[in-house]
Amino acid sequence: MQTVSQLPDEVNYLDYKGKYKGIFAWIFSTDHKRIALLYMYSMLTMFVVGVVLGLAMKLELIAPGKTIMDPQTYNSVFTVHGVIMIFMIVIPGLPAVFGNFMLPIMIGAKDVAFPKVNLLSWYFYVLGAVLVIASVLFGNGAPDTGWTFYAPYSFKSGTNLLPAIFGAFVLGFSSILTGLNFIVTIHRMRAPGMTWFKMPLFPWSLYGTAWIQLLATPVVGITLVLVALERIFNIGVFDPALGGDPILYQHLFWIYSHPAVYVMILPAMGAISEIIPTFSQKHIFGYKAIIASTLAIAFVGYFVWGHHMFTSGMSGTAQYTFSILTFIVAIPSAIKVFNWISTMHKGSINPEAPFLWAVTFIFVFMIGGFSGLVLGALATNVHVHDTAFVVAHFHFIVFGGVGFAFFGAIHYWFPKMFGRMYDKVWAKVGWAFFTVGFLTLYSPMFYLGMMGMPRRYYDYLPEFHAANILSSLGSWVMTFGLLIIVINLFRSAKNGAIAEINPWHGKTLEWTVPSPPPLENFDEIPVYGEKDGPYEY
């Protein structure tokens, strides 16, 4: 590969002075790197809201009976927590932040294919967030249906649901535009000589993700529109009183929302696939197997939605089929885990913060995955359906998967994004508190669920008290870890030591450009030769 020459006086993207000043230099910027940071800061804002709501729920559950809020408030709190965390954090999370920032650089491009559409997608994101917040602040009561907006309650509830539903719709549109942009970017803008199988794994995972975003999101879009119309006009499609079928709503909802789980997890796996070879200083084991499993997950993930509805009323045949497909989708995930472990084997491991996040990702992801198999099996599903077990499972996958990968990715790419290195000791301290808190918070819920504690209740029987106290304590430890991480990163972005171009000795293209990268990333577009691969150690 050619070494990329860089003029020393080139202005980096953070200091670049364009036509606009102040905040407008950011919110009117079509630079993919600035848009990535716009996404990151808006997500951080919403994440804080989501975390506070989560803490409030755990505080309510610290003792049986009413602790700090009444049942109706609790319903609204878990609904808004879910809507924010799912639609605004974990679905856009890695693609919108690290995808936007790193994808063009990793494939040797100057920007994404449609920079203006990229900025538009962020505007839609903000609009969606504002709509959801409006549903909380105005009208008669915050939404209380749960983030799934299940029919018929979603059009019977007297709370202010319409803005939240439209907010979710608009957020979906934002996600579609990001996906569309990434597919075209990957097809059209790879560096000369970078064939498909010379592309690094993070772009590959974004490619699989983008197809899911593109093909699944419209279905939930129209479903949410139908619920909204049902609320306004009584069109009848999901209303059993008018001949409609509420189960049909669940089908249409999960046809999107299950693949959406893979929208969350695939880019997380992609980021892990970048971190592990770098910190093992070894070629990734089974490069093609990881790509194949990415595409397999993206494909099979479309056909497992029914496992959310085993107890809703489905034919036996449908249940067996969805159960088997659910087990099948676990296989490609397991392949990835084996590949990551094999990459580490006999590697020269450098246990920096990103690597610690990556290995804990594997650990919590496996717990989440195995508990998913418990839920995918028909008999056990009936036992633990709608209990705290389910909550524990999807927090291990969604928060454990995406959260750990996100923190891994931010610690990995931080020196590139901001040109400064964070305090490595505090990064590890934050990781330790977060991990211990995370496990203390969610592990007891597996036990509680198996003992029969239902989810989405503000109250519980006295025998569940001890485990709930433990879980609530965990939520404080985890939040403390979170605070350390965020403060450390914020301080370091300003005052950290100046970072080298390639502090981790990574082999992908982003480590060949200066930190932070200049406005158009490359002076000269890199060219891949015959023998260059995605990772050469």
Partner 1 sequence: MEHVAQHSDPHYDQEASKLGMWLFIFTELLLFGGLFIVYAIYRFLNPEAFQMAGHELNLTIGAINTVILLVSSMTIAMSTSALQKKNKGLTVLLLEITVMLALIFLINKYFEWGVKFDHGIWPGSEHLLNDMGHGEVLFFGLYFVMTGLHALHIVIGMIIIIVALNKVQKGTVHADRPSLLENAGLYWHLVDLIWIFLFPLFYLIH
User: Which residues contact partner 1 (rule: CB under 8 A)?
Assistant: 18-19, 28-31, 110-111, 113-115, 117, 176, 180-181, 183-184, 187-189, 214-219, 221-223, 225-226, 229, 233-237, 242-245, 248, 252, 519-520
Interatomic CA distance for residues 416 and 69, integer angstroms: 44
Secondary structure (3-state) at 497: strand
CB of 244 to partner 1, least distance (A): 7
CB of 328 to partner 1, least distance (A): 24
Q: How far is the CB of 203 from partner 1 (least distance, A)?
A: 16
Characterize 122-146 residue by residue with b for buried, 16 or more Cβ atoms within 10 angstroms of its Cβ, and e for exposed: bebbbbbbebbbbbbeebebbbbbb
CB-wise, 54 or 128, nearer to partner 1? 128
- Closest CB to partner 1 among residues 218, 503: 218
Name the minimum Å distance from CB 272 to partner 1.
27
Only one residue has tokens 């392949």, namely 335
CA-nearest of 202, 175, 212 to 96 is 175
For 495-503, the CB contacts below 8 A with 24+ separation are 495/420, 496/418, 496/420, 496/421, 496/422, 496/423, 497/420, 497/421, 498/419, 498/420, 498/421, 499/415, 499/416, 499/418, 499/419, 499/420, 499/421, 500/415, 503/415, 503/421
The minimum distance between CB 519 and partner 1, in angstroms, equals 6
**C-alpha–C-alpha distance, residues 411 and 409, integer Å:** 5
Q: How far is the CB of 300 from partner 1 (least distance, A)?
A: 18
Residue with tokens 């593109």: 214
Cβ proximity to partner 1, 247 vs 483, nearer residue: 247
Report the C-alpha gap between 113 and 302 in whole angstroms. 27
Contacts of 508 by beta carbon, 8 Å cutoff, 6+ apart: 106, 200, 202, 274, 534, 535
Q: Please, which residue, 215 or 469, has the CB nearer to partner 1?
A: 215
| Residue 320, token pair as written in the block | 């067996």
Comparison of 176 and 384: residue with beta carbon closer to partner 1 = 176
Nearest approach, Cβ of 460 to partner 1 (angstroms)?
38
**Cα radius of gyration rounded to whole Å, the chain:** 23
Q: Which is nearer to partner 1, 69 or 127 (CB)?
A: 127
Question: In the complex with partner 1, which residue's Cβ is closer, 54 or 203?
Answer: 203
Tokens of 523: 């002076």
Q: Which is nearer to partner 1, 266 or 519 (CB)?
A: 519
Q: How far apart are CA 362 and CA 72, in angstroms?
A: 37
Q: How far is the CB of 238 from partner 1 (least distance, A)?
A: 9
Q: Quote the least distance from Cβ 209 to partner 1, whole Å.
A: 14
Cα separation of the two ends of the chain: 13
Four-residue CA torsion sign, 453, 458, 463, 468: positive
DSSP state of 283: P
Rounded-to-integer distance, Cα 101 and Cα 29, Å: 13
**Three-class SS of residue 377?**
coil
CB-wise, 155 or 361, nearer to partner 1? Answer: 155
| Residue with smaller CB distance to partner 1, 110 or 465 | 110
- What are 368's two structure tokens? 């989440």
CB of 376 to partner 1, least distance (A): 25
Q: Smallest gap, in angstroms, from Cβ of residue 27 to partner 1? A: 12
Least spacing, CB of residue 294 vs partner 1, in Å:
19
Closest CB to partner 1 among 500 and 520? Answer: 520
Amino acid at 254: W
Rounded-to-integer distance, Cα 316 and Cα 502, Å: 56
